[in-house]
Chains A and B, each alone.
Chain A
Amino acid sequence: MSSSILLITFFFFSLVAPAVGAPALAYITNQGNDTVSVVDLESSKIIAQIPVGTKPVGVAVSPQARRVFITNVESGNVSVIDTETNKVLTQIPAGVSPVGITTKADGSTFYVADWFSNRILVIDAISGKQLRAIEISKAPAGLMLSRDEKVLYVANRDSNDVAFIDTSTGAILSRIPVGTHPFGIALSPDGTRLYSVNVWSNNVSVIDTASRKVVATIPVGDHPYCAALNADGSRLYVSNTQADTLSVIDTANFRTIATMDVGATPEGVGYSAERNQVYVASWMENEVTVVDAATNKVVAHIPTGKESRAFGPFILENR
């Protein structure tokens, strides 16, 4: 009896969850042709070119909801992509010039950094309704949620700080001064450290999320933009847009252990735990550069679309 239930359960599960074990995908925004390239990371092939809004930049993924959210900075909206069909389901109005975006793990609510209006917009992903608008410092850019989703982290590019926002009240808990012009941010897998990539000061500020203090500053290359961490948080990868390189940093001692040439003007950085590879969107070369995280060597160049940006964690895996 119990074995037949198990068998039935297994059979049923395999029917309703066809995507389990599906290959990891990268969702790359192409500013120059208003599309998102979907890259199958197993075959290194583009499996879809999805038309979105105008000048797409930011990416947030929810494997749980099977949704990807894209900010379109010039059309002032968010394209919601169904990852089963790789088609846009709807476009939701999102302020004047949405750049950074992050989503709750369940895909129910997303947060948008509205660059020109200096606000964070909280939007219900199902109804498309704006739940809240939070006044913040100048030119908000990178966004991340704490692992328990109680705190939203915001890099404010033109006021040189990272703000901590209480997601239940919308109150600003803290403003932490960092380097000059913070843009991208990355959070360690255990949630204890937040890395702010500072474009003008050519460094990364390491924030202890508990004490809300900068505990280290790591020098990187020219005009760094974005960062990502590997699965255990021991390596930090930083794109240096004007050096055309990727810095690899050991987070135990904050030393740079490798710097490699990648596609010119590298912007977004993503890490796939399934493949132990780093993916870098190259704005100038219109490609994704693939780096093997075990050897720190470039292993592939995948053409995407014009002016690839991919701002935010853009890898969809554990599907």
Chain B
Amino acid sequence: MKKTLALLAALLLPFAAAAHGPTPLKSVETVTIKAPAAKVWALVSDFGAMEKWHPAVKSTKIEQKGGETFRTLTLQDGGTILERLKGKDDADMQIKYEIVEGVVPVSGYNSKITVKDAGNGETKVEWFGRYYRKYVLNPPIPAGEDDESAKKAIDGIYQSGLANLKKVAEGK
């Protein structure tokens, strides 16, 4: 019985990795910071040092593989997230990346952070995410792998991250 289950799980795995549901989820969070845009961008664009501004991140390990940049985030609770840098534009001050695998209950996650000079010495930061819930097969959906769990996790990451980015950049 156990063997059959393991075999079944192994058979399902490639499909699970490839497929996802038809409805993506969105998270967008914004913060206004009383600090120059260049200073904020320096923090946000440093792909290998997220612990400098995100309170949930304990350390970041950066790696180059096949001409691409990856980072492994180790969280305060020990969990890890592997991410791939998709693009960084210093002129437009925007960075794009995606999650390859990790502890966050999402699939097909991709994200963008933009930094804009808002005038009067203020900077506006926007964090955008598009993703699907963790459970990618047909309903019924297991607890903790549904849309609500995914959205709650990402919203939480964005809100706590931007609040702390503001603190760090404003030097408080």
Give the B-binding residues of A (Cβ under 8 A).
Answer: 31-32, 55, 57, 73-74, 96-97, 99, 115-116, 138-139, 157-158, 181, 222-223, 241-242, 264-265, 283-284, 307
Contact = CB atoms under 8 A, between A and B. Distances in A.
A265 B108 CA distance: 14
B84 to A, nearest CB: 12
Nearest to B18: A158
B23 to A, nearest CB: 5
B19 A284 contact: no
A138 B28 CA distance: 31
Contacts of B23: 31, 55, 57, 73-74
B112 interface: yes
Of B21, B23, B130, B139, most buried by chain A (CB within 10 Å of CB) is B23
A222 B112 contact: no
B19 A158 contact: yes
A157 B132 CA distance: 16
Interface of B: 15, 18-19, 21-24, 26, 28, 86, 96, 110, 112, 128, 130, 138-139
Contact of A284 (B18, B96, B130): B130
B94 to A, nearest CB: 9
A184 to B, nearest CB: 13
A53 B29 CA distance: 27
A157 B40 CA distance: 40
Contact of A283 (B18, B26, B110, B138): B26
Contact of A116 (B26, B86, B138): B138
Nearest to B129: A284
Given A242-B96, A283-B130, A284-B128, A138 B19 contact: yes
29 contacts: A31-B23, A31-B24, A55-B23, A57-B22, A57-B23, A73-B22, A73-B23, A74-B23, A97-B22, A115-B21, A115-B22, A116-B21, A116-B22, A116-B138, A116-B139, A158-B18, A158-B19, A181-B18, A222-B86, A223-B110, A241-B130, A242-B86, A242-B96, A264-B128, A265-B130, A283-B26, A283-B130, A284-B130, A307-B24
Nearest to B112: A264
A157 B19 CA distance: 8
A32 B15 CA distance: 28
Contacts of B130: 241, 265, 283-284
B156 to A, nearest CB: 20
A77 to B, nearest CB: 14
Given A31-B23, A283-B24, 13 more contacts: A31-B24, A57-B23, A73-B23, A97-B21, A115-B21, A115-B22, A116-B21, A116-B22, A139-B19, A157-B19, A265-B130, A283-B26, A284-B130
A264 B128 CA distance: 10
Contact of B15 (A73, A116, A158): A158
Nearest to A267: B24
Contacts of B26: 32, 283-284, 307
Nearest to B98: A242
A306 to B, nearest CB: 8
Contacts of B19: 138-139, 157-158
Contacts of A74: 23
A55 B28 CA distance: 19
A116 B141 CA distance: 13
Nearest to B92: A261
A307 B128 CA distance: 13
A168 B15 CA distance: 32
Contacts of A222: 86
Contacts of A284: 26, 28, 128, 130
Contacts of B28: 284
Nearest to A199: B108
Closest 5 CB pairs of A and B: A116-B138, A115-B22, A99-B22, A158-B19, A73-B22
Nearest to A306: B26
Central interface residue in B15, B22, B128, B139, by most chain A CB within 10 Å: B22
Contacts of B86: 222, 242
Contacts of A157: 19
Contacts of A116: 21-22, 138-139
Contacts of B96: 242
Contacts of A242: 86, 96, 110
Contacts of A265: 130
